[in-house]
């Protein structure tokens, strides 16, 4: 790694750390939107709310969590009364996760808090910089997922 790459890596590390802290991602017992729910639970409920019942394996893949972590997470959601396990007709081997009525309510409240927080965040970014910020985040997500894009590939035109 060259000195320039090392300097850039350290700068990136500092900027991401500052964002994590400013946005509240470092608080394990609440979402960045201020809701007193661990972020992992909020993400799981959000996935089930958006796409409906799914298997525990599917939920784990979406959240990029290990099987044992997903098991603990699902048990926490069940103890909150937000999720239940259910069998589906046609395949008794698979256990599906679905939101309870309380889970649907919680997911709705979390979605409102999230929308409010992101609206406020967007309003703090100058309008002309918003497309650049969103493109930069897309590139960062792809790089973190191990799919770096070639320069200028996959960019959305903002005319």
Q: List all residues 6 or more positions away from 82 whose beta carbon is below 8 Å from its beta carbon.
A: 41, 45, 99, 100, 102, 103, 106, 107
Instruction: Map out the domains of the chain as residue ranges.
Output: 1-29, 31-124
Query: Which CATH number describes the domain made up of 31-124?
Result: 1.10.10.10
State the Cα–Cα distance between residues 135 and 145, nearest whole angstrom: 15
Given this model, what pLDDT does residue 88 score?
A: 77
CA 112/CA 78 separation, integer angstroms? 22
**Taking the C-alpha atoms of 138, 139, 140 and 145 in order, what is their torsion angle to the nearest 10 degrees?**
90
Calpha distance 9→7 (Å, rounded): 5
Stated as kind and residue range, the H or E segment containing 86 is strand 83-88
pLDDT, position 30: 79
Q: What is the mean pLDDT of each run of 10 residues along the chain (159 residues)?
A: 89 90 81 85 95 94 93 96 87 86 96 92 95 92 78 43
């Amino acid at each position: 790694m060259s000195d320039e790459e090392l300097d850039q890596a350290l700068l990136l590390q500092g900027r991401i750390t500052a964002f994590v802290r400013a946005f509240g991602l470092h608080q394990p017992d609440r979402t960045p939107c201020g809701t007193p729910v661990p972020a992992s639970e909020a993400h799981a409920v959000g996935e089930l709310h958006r796409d409906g019942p799914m298997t525990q394996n599917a939920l784990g893949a979406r959240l990029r969590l290990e099987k044992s972590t997903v098991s603990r997470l699902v048990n926490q959601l069940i103890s909150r009364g937000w999720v239940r396990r259910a069998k589906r007709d046609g395949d008794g081997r698979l256990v599906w996760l679905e939101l309870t009525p309380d889970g649907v309510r919680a997911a709705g409240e979390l979605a409102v808090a999230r929308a409010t927080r992101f609206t406020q965040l967007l309003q703090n970014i100058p309008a002309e910089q918003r497309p650049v910020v969103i493109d930069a985040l897309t590139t960062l997500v792809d790089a973190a997922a191990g799919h770096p894009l070639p320069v200028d590939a996959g960019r959305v035109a903002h005319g």
